[in-house]
Amino acid sequence: MKTLYFITGNKGKLLEAKKRFSKINFEIIQKDIGYPEIQADSLEEVALFGVNDIQKRFDKPFFLEDAGLFIDSLNGFPGVYSAYVFYKIGCSGILKLMEKYEGNKRKACFRSVIVYKGLNKDPEIFIGESYGLISKISIGDYGFGYDPIFIPENEKRTFAQMETDEKNRFSHRGKSLNKLINYIKN
Cα separation of the two ends of the chain? 16
Q: Is 0.85 surpassed by the pTM of this model?
A: yes
> Around Cβ 139, how many Cβ atoms within 10 Å?
15
Q: Which of 59, 66, 72, 122 is catalytic?
A: 66
DSSP-H helix ranges across 3-156: 11-22, 43-54, 82-97
Task: State which H helix or E strand residue 176 sits in.
Answer: helix 172-185
What is the pLDDT at residue 95?
Answer: 98
Kindly tell me the burial class for residue 124, based on how many C-beta atoms sit within 10 Å of its own C-beta (0-12, 13-18, 19 or more).
Answer: middle
Q: Which residues on neighbouring strands pair with residue 108, listed in sequence order?
A: 71, 132
Please indicate whether residue 66 is annotated as part of the active site. Answer: yes
What is the pLDDT at residue 164?
Answer: 84
What is the pLDDT at residue 48?
Answer: 96
Q: Which domains does the chain have, with CATH numbers?
A: 2-185 (3.90.950.10)
What is the pLDDT at residue 25?
Answer: 86
What string of pLDDT tens digits covers the 186 residues of the chain? Answer: 889 999 999 998 999 899 889 889 889 999 999 888 888 999 999 999 999 999 999 999 999 999 999 999 999 999 999 999 999 999 999 999 999 999 999 999 999 999 999 988 999 999 999 999 999 999 999 989 999 999 999 999 999 999 988 888 889 999 999 999 999 988
